[in-house]
Amino acid sequence: MPIDFLGIQAFLAIVECGSFQLAAAQLNLSQTAVSHRMRKLEETLGVRLIARTTREVSLTDAGRALLPRARNAVQELGASCETVRKHGQNANNWLVLACLPTLASGVFIDVLRECRERWPDTPVRVFDSSIHEILELVDSRTAAFGISVMRPQATHAELDVRRIGDEPFVLLCPEGHALAGRAKVPWEDLRGEALIRISMTSGNSITIDESLGVLREQLRWRLEAQHTAMAVEMVRGGLGLTVVPLLVAAPGPGVVVVPLEAPVIARTLAVLTRRDAVPSEQEVFVRERAVALIQSRIAAV
């Protein structure tokens, strides 16, 4: 689904200002244009977000659910733009890479340690970002390369996308749970378990839902966290089970990792570079060491 940034901007302005008229003034648009953007967003989502009356506007249940996520997304986008702006002038002095948050601590810590041992004076900047942001960071030359999930429908002509391998999803259980001692767990055995979802809007949740088909309707997602670290702590606290990519950093004491099967669900990882890029020795080292480390850990499963 394409992201309607203009519609989300209008939605947030209406909520902040309390009326379409004031939102239009804030956005320097006509009230008709704001209404059109809002109507288009609601049509795209298939739900009403705002209840309109002659005196005021109020949020529907769907609007209240969207509001914190929309605010966070806009704030993160603004922060990313500000980071790029601040560092644009001295970008050539840094080794800059982009990767998924689930890979940042689980894979890149070891690679960056090796890089520092070889080139102690080279500053390194890591963007642990979303799939879309990684694509844009590499395409804009902000990052020398990115490691992300392969999305054939979201490629750019200027980018080279090299497949790394398929990273399976695994189950995290509290120690002592009935499933924690299994060698493998079929998905159907999760029926009846209290499950913790990691952000319904994330690419991982979408991949899992699409792969499970009708079985997804039989699972009980009782809790939701925006980030993997919070979901892991929920598991550690005995609140339920969660599903994460294999290469997430070791969850630590109190949490057991168990492979999932029937079906085995995986995401395809890839390294993104610009076709016209001339990488430095450091960039090549970090990129290829990260690729090799990912492949070795996937193969060890």
pLDDT band at 50 (very low <50, low <70, confident <90, very high): very high
Q: For tokens 């999932």, what's the residue? A: 260
pLDDT band at 181 (very low <50, low <70, confident <90, very high): very high
What's the chain's average pLDDT?
91
Let me know if the fold of 5-83 is the same as that of 166-266.
no
Radius of gyration of the chain (CA): 22
Give the range with max mean pLDDT: 85-94, 125-134, 185-194, 210-219. 185-194
- Measured CA distances, 89 to 86, 92, 96, 97, 280 (Å): 7, 8, 13, 17, 18
pLDDT at 115: 96
CA–CA gap between residue 15 and residue 23 (Å, rounded): 8
On whether the pTM is more than 0.75, the answer is: no
CATH 3.40.190.10 fits 166-266, yes or no: yes
Its CATH class, for the domain covering 5-83, is mainly alpha
Question: Where is 269: in which H helix or E strand?
Answer: strand 266-274
Contact (Cβ atoms closer than 8 angstroms) between residue 203 and residue 131: yes
Contact (Cβ atoms closer than 8 angstroms) between residue 243 and residue 216: no
Asked if the model's pLDDT at residue 53 lies above 80, the reply is no
CA–CA gap between residue 65 and residue 221 (Å, rounded): 16
Work out whether strand 124-128 and strand 241-245 pair parallel, antiparallel, or are unpaired.
Answer: unpaired
pLDDT at 91: 55
Closest listed residue to residue 235, CA positions, set 170, 173, 169, 171: 173
Residues in contact with 60: Cβ distance below 8 Å, sequence separation at least 6, in sequence order: 47, 48, 49, 50, 51
Residues in contact with 206: Cβ distance below 8 Å, sequence separation at least 6, in sequence order: none
| Phi/psi-derived region of residue 112, left when phi > 0, alpha when psi is between -120 and 50, beta in every other case | alpha
Task: Return the DSSP state at 250.
Answer: P
Strand ranges inside 122-158, DSSP E: 124-128, 145-149
List the chain domain ranges.
5-83, 92-165+267-299, 166-266
CATH number (3.30.450.40, 3.40.190.10, 3.40.50.1370, 3.40.50.1450) of 92-165+267-299 reads 3.40.190.10
Give tens-digit pLDDT for 81-139: 776 666 554 556 899 999 999 898 889 999 999 999 999 999 999 999 989 899 999 99
Q: For tokens 């080139």, what's the residue? A: 119
